[in-house]
Structure formats: structure tokens, C-alpha cells
């Protein structure tokens, strides 16, 4: 999962993009990048690290211009490589910079075609670089001179025909404007906003509406599935809806875990969705555990707080904060390597003993992925004196990998894969385990927008909405996403760097989500 932002303004955009990336830092803590353009030329800064660490005063001063895009990245199957920090750049035609959130499921085929037929060189394993080169190739065919709206829209339309998977993209065409588009399934989110300035409008696109709020942009709407928006440097806004088949299936895991609760995605409040998840979960607990002896409900901070509040309210038991979180530790299920995740959980949370001692505690989390965090948190609760520890998940069992931009682990590393609830409860050390039902989760999310009738819930159901995901693809994904494979890639990367060799790719490789 990543975060993208693009702004066309009447004023310098460097600080605005920085601020927007900061409020979307939860979407990626591995790397950050900003590209801006002015009459003086293109300016870029990107590197591994948090936004606050990547950009110093000297970098911000160089990022001049009223047009720019930015990106935050999280560790993917490709590991933490500065070569894959975004935005990416290609010099033909015009010069194009691109930032991407999502994953292409036909990365292999596209890489081969780009190299062999389109005569374009790829220097990284990133599918974002593939997207950039597909767009650049299609635009070069169609645009002569100034890239007006029609050839830009036609180029994106051709890209949709060639690319499969989930993607939300912002691209800067040097000297001309910003292009933003969303995949025809609308899997990955992208929001459009504007702000009135001096009788005209500044425009902004971002992965989440919270970035618009912080920068005081009015949220206009979400981009529709397959829609393209082109904002010229002079502030002229053009848009075109997708001219092919669309099937609106936004990623449901955005509402469960990734998005900030104060965001609105596809006209659905993330906060309200999580409240309803708590209501649904409370109903499930009452049905499965009618004679419960729960003394207190405690959330696993931070994402599950909203749901846990509703669980406590509907069960009629106390809600308490039992864990204090170190906010300088990243999200654990996306950290590379089991050893690092194990250490991180202990560094991240500390129990308040008086809230656990001698009590039967219900811990509520947003989801259970590997089970690493759940197991260690339950041990923390017992060490703090809990008499019994029950565990509830606001999401259903995660049994399958996500292929559309969330680097969920290999299926064999998912604790719910091939196991029933009793086995999972035993593995994590819970006295009882309750999961949300999938239909209850879907009811919770779509309540505010009945126009959306289905979601990408593939990590729960194993049903992949784009249709081309095969057993062979998933097997290959398994081979590349397991921890051993990731650690081997990291070791190779370090070895190449130490010997001074280039880490550039040697040929087409399978898709690596951004």
C-alpha cells in the first residue's frame, strides 16, 4: 500500500505536498518522494525513510514550482530499496514523472513487451516503472507537439487495455500538467479536490480525503473507476470517464485497516464503517458467546478503537485503554522479516497492569494476518495479570494473499490459511476467538453508499475481481512473498551494493506491488 498526491496551484506546492504526504504517512513508511516543476526545470527529492527524514530544509528550498506530485511507499515483496522510491521518471515524450499505488497482475507480460517490442529499458523490479513506460509509450504514439486532453485520455484508455490489476496513478507531464487515473475496477482509492484562490481554482488529487482536509481543499468527488483527470499547468481541468467495461469493486481492507478513520473513500466514511463493524461484531459475540463473562473490552491501538467502542457499548461492559503505543514504530504486519516483526511488537505496545489484573478481558483488533501481533499481545495481557483473554477480530479470517497492492504475506504465512477457529485460538493463545462474518463486514462498509454492491474482498474470500489471477500466479507469488525469499533478496541487494555492482533488474520478473 502506498499514498500518492498531485497538486496544480497558483503558488509553490512543495510545502503542501510535504504536508499531504505527512498525513498519509500511515500508507507507507519505507520511502518518500516529491517532484516539482517550474520554468526553471524539474526538481526531485526521494529516498528511503519517513517524510520528515527524507526532506530537509535544503531539499525543500530546491523543490520550486507550482506543479508537483508526491509518494509514500511501504516495504513490498521487492524489499526496501532506494532505487524503487517514487516518483519514477522517463524522458520521452516530454519528460514524465509517475507515482503509483497498487499492483499490476500482468507485470511479467508487460515487462517483456516493453523491452522486446516497445524498445523501452526497465531498470528496477517495480511495476510502477512498467506503468510509467506503458503510459509514455501510448502517449508518444498519440501526441504531436502539445499534449492536449484528447491524446492524454486516449493514452490512458490504451493503458487500461494493456494493464491488469489495481492502480491509482498521478503523473506529471513536464511543462504541461498532471494526469491522474484509477483502474477500471476502482480497487485503489483516488480523490479529487479544489481550493478557490484569486478567482480561480487550485486542484489536488490524493489517495485519501484527509490530505485534502488538512490542506483546506474542498473534496469534490472520488475518481470513478477507469476515469482520467488532466489538470493543465494553467489550472484548466479536463476529465473523461472510462469507455470500456467497469466493475466498481473498491478494496474493503482500506476500511478495515489502511485508511485513516477521518477519510471518506468512495463516499463512505471510514469512521462510520468501523463503528458499524463494531456493531456487527458485538452481534456475532452475543450469538456465539451468549453467557459471556467479559469484564472489560480493550482495543489493540490504534485502528480497532472505533470498533471496540461499539462492541463494549452493545455488550454493556466497560471499555478501557489497556495498551500504550509507541507511535514511532511502523505497522508490523508489513515489516520485512519475522524476527523484526517479533521485536517490533514488544517495542510498540506496553500493558497497563491495573486494567488487566484479575479480569476476563476481550481484546478487539481490526484483523489477524500472520498472528504474530495477536499472539504477543495476548501474552502481554496474561503477563499483566488477566484471568482470561478472549480475542475478537473486526474482519473475517485472512486466508488468501492480496494481489492488488497490499503486500500481504505468502498464503502459508497467514495464520488462518487452512486452519479452523479453534486451531487459530490455540496458536495465538486465546481462551476464545471470534471473527467477524464477511457478509457482516460488507454490510458495515456499504451502508453509506448502496451504489457500491461489491468489494474486492479477495484476502477473505479468495475471489479475485479482475479474473485473471490463476493458481500458477498465486504459486509464484507464494515463492516470492515468503519471508525466506524476501531475506534472500535483501541479502543479494546488500551484496551487490557492497561490491559496487548495479542492482538493476536482469530481465522480466513477477509483479511487485507498490
Determine how many CB atoms are found less than 10 A away from the CB of residue 127: 31
Determine how many CB atoms are found less than 10 A away from the CB of residue 414: 21
Cα distance from N-terminal residue to C-terminal residue, the chain? 6
Q: Residue for cell digits 517514487?
A: 86
Q: Identify the bridge partners of residue 485 per DSSP, sorted by sequence position.
A: none
d(C-alpha 508, C-alpha 505), whole Å: 8
Catalytic position from the list 2, 97, 163, 459:
2
d(C-alpha 311, C-alpha 257), whole Å: 17
Half-sphere exposure of 75 (CA within 13 A, CB side): 20
> Minimal CA–CA distance to 203: which of 242, 236, 241?
236
> Minimal CA–CA distance to 85: which of 123, 120, 134, 115?
123
Pair type for strands 31-38 and 41-48: antiparallel
Catalytic residue status for 2? yes
How far is residue 412 from each of residues 2, 94, 415, 428, 459, measured CA to CA in Å?
24, 45, 8, 16, 13
Q: Which residues are catalytic?
A: 2
Amino acid at each position: 500500500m502506498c499514498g500518492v498526491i498531485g497538486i496544480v496551484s497558483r503558488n509553490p506546492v512543495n510545502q503542501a505536498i510535504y504536508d499531504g504526504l505527512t498525513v498519509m504517512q500511515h500508507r507507507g513508511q519505507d520511502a518518500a518522494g516529491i517532484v516539482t516543476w517550474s520554468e526553471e526545470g524539474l526538481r526531485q527529492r526521494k529516498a528511503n525513510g519517513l517524510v520528515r527524514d527524507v526532506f530537509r530544509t535544503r531539499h525543500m528550498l530546491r523543490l520550486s514550482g507550482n506543479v508537483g506530485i508526491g509518494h509514500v511507499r511501504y516495504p513490498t515483496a521487492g524489499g526496501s530499496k532506494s532505487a524503487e522510491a517514487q516518483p519514477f521518471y522517463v524522458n520521452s515524450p516530454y519528460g514524465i514523472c509517475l507515482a503509483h499505488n497498487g499492483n499490476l497482475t500482468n507485470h511479467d507480460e508487460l515487462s517483456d513487451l516493453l523491452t522486446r517490442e516497445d524498445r523501452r529499458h526497465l531498470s528496477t523490479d517495480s511495476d510502477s516503472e512498467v506503468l510509467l513506460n506503458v503510459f509514455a509509450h501510448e502517449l508518444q504514439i498519440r501526441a504531436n507537439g502539445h499534449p492536449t486532453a484528447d491524446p492524454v485520455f486516449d493514452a490512458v484508455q490504451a493503458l487500461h487495455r494493456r494493464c491488469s490489476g489495481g492502480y491509482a496513478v498521478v503523473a506529471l507531464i513536464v511543462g504541461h500538467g498532471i494526469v491522474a487515473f484509477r483502474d477500471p475496477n476502482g480497487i485503489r482509492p483516488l480523490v479529487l479536490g479544489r481550493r478557490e484562490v484569486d478567482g480561480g481554482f487550485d486542484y489536488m488529487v490524493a489517495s485519501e480525503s484527509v490530505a485534502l482536509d488538512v490542506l483546506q481543499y474542498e473534496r469534490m468527488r472520488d475518481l470513478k473507476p477507469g476515469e482520467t483527470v488532466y489538470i493543465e499547468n494553467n489550472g484548466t481541468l479536463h476529465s473523461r470517464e472510462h469507455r470500456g467495461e467497469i466493475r466498481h469493486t473498491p478494496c474493503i481492507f482500506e476500511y478495515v485497516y489502511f485508511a485513516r478513520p477521518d477519510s471518506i473513500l468512495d463516499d463512505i466514511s471510514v469512521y462510520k464503517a468501523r463503528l458499524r463493524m463494531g456493531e456487527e461484531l458485538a452481534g456475532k459475540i452475543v450469538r456465539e458467546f451468549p453467557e459471556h463473562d467479559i469484564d472489560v473490552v480493550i482495543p489493540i491501538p490504534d485502528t480497532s478503537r472505533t470498533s471496540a467502542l461499539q462492541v463494549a457499548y452493545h455488550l454493556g461492559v466497560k471499555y478501557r485503554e489497556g495498551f500504550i503505543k509507541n507511535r514511532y514504530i511502523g505497522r508490523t504486519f508489513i515489516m520485512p522479516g519475522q524476527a523484526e516483526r517479533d521485536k517490533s511488537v514488544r517495542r510498540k505496545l506496553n500493558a497497563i497492569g491495573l486494567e488487566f489484573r484479575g479480569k476476563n478481558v476481550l481484546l478487539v483488533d481490526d484483523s489477524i494476518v500472520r498472528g504474530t501481533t495477536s499472539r504477543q499481545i495476548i501474552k502481554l495481557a496474561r503477563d499483566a495479570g488477566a484471568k482470561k483473554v478472549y480475542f475478537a477480530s473486526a474482519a473475517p479470517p485472512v486466508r488468501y494473499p492480496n494481489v492488488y497492492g497490499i503486500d500481504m504475506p505468502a498464503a502459508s504465512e497467514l495464520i488462518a490459511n487452512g486452519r479452523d477457529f479453534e486451531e487459530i485460538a490455540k496458536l495465538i493463545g486465546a481462551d476464545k476467538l471470534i471473527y467477524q462474518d464477511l457478509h457482516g463486514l460488507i454490510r458495515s462498509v456499504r451502508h453509506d453508499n448502496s451504489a457500491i454492491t461489491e468489494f474486492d474482498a479477495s484476502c477473505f474470500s479468495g475471489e479475485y475481481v479482475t479474473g485473471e489471477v490463476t493458481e500458477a500466479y498465486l504459486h509464484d507469488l507464494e515463492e516470492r512473498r515468503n519471508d525466506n525469499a524476501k531475506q534472500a533478496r535483501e541479502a543479494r541487494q546488500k551484496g551487490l551494493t557492497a561490491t559496487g555492482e548495479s542492482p538493476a533488474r536482469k530481465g522480466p520478473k513477477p509483479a511487485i506491488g507498490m
